[in-house]
Structure 1
Amino acid sequence: MQEEHTPLAATCPRCREQVEPHRFCESCGHDMWLRRGGAARAPGGPCPGCGTPGDNGHGGVDRSGEAYCETCGLRRSDGTEHVEADLGAIAGVSDRGLSHARNEDAMALGLLAAPGAAPVLAAVVCDGVSSVDSPELASRAGADAALERLLHPAAPTMRDAVAAAATAVEALEEVSVRNPPSCTLVAAIVRPDDGITVGWVGDSRAYWLAAPDAVEPARLLTVDHSWAVEMVAAGAMDAATALADPRAHAITRWLGAGGEPRPDVVTLHPACPGLLLICSDGLWNYLPGAVDLAEVALPELARGGPAAVARALTAIALDAGGRDNITVVAVPIGLPEQRRDT
């Protein structure tokens, strides 16, 4: 796990120079107001096969960026099999699961806290398309690019952030001419005065979770860009028939070569406290209902905060079989004065 915890201090944590109380360090440009966490690639450790250290010059890298031990040839761990990021007001877990050889999901979390102002929270979850080459590279590039854009000082739109992610993924086409990396994306940003904005491409999801008697009921906020959903929406099939088809879960939009990176975007102004949850299909394939998710998540939130929610839901997916990579990000929302979604 790689995280940056940037204190609001007079010394820049990157270059150690004394700085004025501004957002950016005048010496190196480091963002003094931003804290980040996520599933960026970590330094390689010892080879799990032969024990060769990861920092002694041994370890080849192929054209896709994969690191291999030059002593025994085994692929090295890149540090993303299980990643936890906890920024206090937002937390997430990304796990390889029990069946995949690597974690092809990625998450990027950010908390932007200007002095004297309520923080802006943002999160991105990307799920690599397993049928392409090096899908994990697409997920990492897309998640990082979208988060950076969401928290840019110019306050861009969600569509701008998704476009930046699409550009970052498309730049990976040289990794594989035949089958370049691609991924899905779901992103959310929570601003104190603008509510919650969610954008997505593909079948990674966002949920609003609340108590059973809440005035803002628990519900799925996104609509999957998948073959089955589009067949039902077009009136060509009923839901049961479409979901039974082998093509049911084939995505119809994605980031990367040949994809349609056009996001759908929704904004929610909650009328009560609750929890924003974004996740990959490694979770919702096992627990798709918003009410069921809320029954697990809200007690965990009360006991241990958003990090406890992400861990508990990841554990449920693993216990149910863990057939896919699992990524879960939880963002508590406690703004009862906000108006209902319009």
Structure 2
Amino acid sequence: MSNTAGVRLAVNGKTDIGRVREENEDAIRWHADATLPFGYVVIADGMGGYSGGSLASRIAVETFSQVLDGLITPIFLACTPDQQNLMIHSAINNTVGKANQSIIDAKLENPQFAHMGTTLVLAVVWQDQLVVAHVGDSRAYMWSTAGIVQITKDHSVVQDMIDAGALTEEQARVSNVRNHITRALGVTEDVEPTIQSLTLNKSSLLLLCSDGLSEYFDNSELEHVLATHRPALECCYRLIDEANQCGGKDNISVGILEFTANSTVSPVVTGSVPSGSGEDTTVRRDRPSH
């Protein structure tokens, strides 16, 4: 947890194997600085089976956590907000390339992992700036008293069909190709993340998840949980429990970042909050590489 004169950040996350898979191929990392208004959540949903997916997702989240943990330097702090935003964007772009290459290299060293890859979704908060990036169909949402907004749009076959008017949102949820993604880390030499910047001007909850959660919840159902369940950070546990009650067909990962504006809580000046992690890492047999 971090506190400053005007901003309070708290973060939590959890990953779960679900009720069907034999292994958890998801990986998650999260962190909130103890003294600065800085925090992040990174979730990766691996694919490939035979431990390949778990390796790919672990490479992705570990690569990003190493970079993000070193982001706030004296040079960064001396920059303007616009420059800082550009530095965050650049760090994300560069790290996507680095993680992508690391997964490809691991495939070359381990031919049994030839089909592995991973999705990625991450959120970085610095002061009132939010940067969200994703590759694949792991998602980010933002809830405030104004309601819920799905920040990311899936890189998937069904999303392309929705955009083309060939499929409705309701049809997409039950389509037999709903797990087919069109972009992933570790599949091609070049991969482009979608990166978005937003300004946080009111207290908000950021929810990141793998499709093991979004499989079971539409936006209104997620909004209900985020609006009513307190403490807010414990939404991670409630959402995973409810996804398992609905069948838990896939691994489930959830990260929550709580942004509180105009906090009157005294700043924290000692101690630290270690990065969180969850690495129960299964086989996405129905998710082919593209």
TM-score of the pair, normalised by structure 2: 0.74
Q: How does 1:142-157 map to 2 (within 5 A)?
A: 142-153=60-71, 156-157=88-89
Task: State the structure with bigger RCO (CA 8 A, min sep 6), 1 or 2.
Answer: 2
**CA distance 1:328–1:242, change in 2 (3 Å):** closer
Q: How does 1:49-128 map to 2 (within 5 A)?
A: 89-114=10-35, 118-128=36-46
Q: Displacement of 1:249 after TM fit?
A: 2.7
Q: Show CA shifts across 1:88-116 (max 9, x none).
A: 810001000000001110001122345xx
| Structure 1 residue 323 corresponds to structure 2 residue 271 | no
Kindly indicate whether the alpha-carbon contact (under 8 Å) linking 1:149 and 1:164 is maintained by their aligned counterparts in 2. Answer: no
Distance 1:242 1:119, change over 3 A: closer
Q: Which residue, out of 99, 121, 127, partners 1:192?
A: 127
SS at match of 2:30: strand
CA distance in 2, matches of 1:136, 1:99: 16
Q: Give matches, 1:1-342, under 5 Å.
A: 89-114=10-35, 118-130=36-48, 134-153=52-71, 156-157=88-89, 158-173=92-107, 174-176=109-111, 179-193=114-128, 195-211=129-145, 214=146, 217-237=147-167, 239=169, 245-258=175-188, 261-289=191-219, 291-301=220-230, 304-306=231-233, 308-335=234-261
Shift of 1:231: 2.2
Residue identity opposite 2:179 in structure 1: H
**What is the deviation of 1:309?**
1.2
CA distance in 1, matches of 2:237, 2:98: 30
Residue 245 of structure 1: CA displacement?
4.6
Unaligned runs of 5+ in 1: 6-87, 338-342
Larger-Rg structure: 1
Describe the shift of the 1:227–1:271 C-alpha distance in structure 2 as closer, same or farther (beyond 3 A): same
Give the distance between the partners of 1:130 and 1:209, measured in 2 at CA.
33
Task: Tell me the alpha carbon deviations over residues 262-319 of structure 1, each in whole angstroms, 9 at most, x when there is no partner.
Answer: 1001122133212000000011110121x32121123323xx341x111111111011
Q: Output the amino acid matched with 1:106.
A: A
Contact residue 173 and residue 215 of structure 2 kept, 8 A: no
Hey, what's the Cα distance between the residues in 1 that align with 2:172 and 2:19? 28
Counterparts of 2:47 and 2:139 in 1: how far apart (Å)? 15
Distance in 2, matches of 1:294 and 1:239, equals 17
Change (3 A) 1:140 1:320: same
Q: Structure 1 324/243 Cα, relative in aligned 2: closer, same or farther at 3 Å?
A: closer
Relative distance call for 1:160 and 1:151 in structure 2 (3 A) is farther
- Paired with 1:110 and 1:95, the residues of 2 have a C-alpha distance of 19
- C-alpha deviations, 1:62-109, integer Å up to 9, x for none? xxxxxxxxxxxxxxxxxxxxxxxxxx8100010000000011100011
Partners of 2:70 and 2:59 lie apart in 1 by 17
Q: Which runs of 5+ in 2 are unaligned?
A: 2-8, 74-86, 264-290
Q: How many percent identity over aligned positions?
A: 30
Number of aligned residue pairs: 239
TM-score, normalization by structure 1: 0.64
Which of the two has greater helix per residue?
2
Is the 2:101–2:189 contact (alpha carbons within 8 Å) kept by the matching residues of 1?
no
CA RMSD, 1 decimal: 2.5
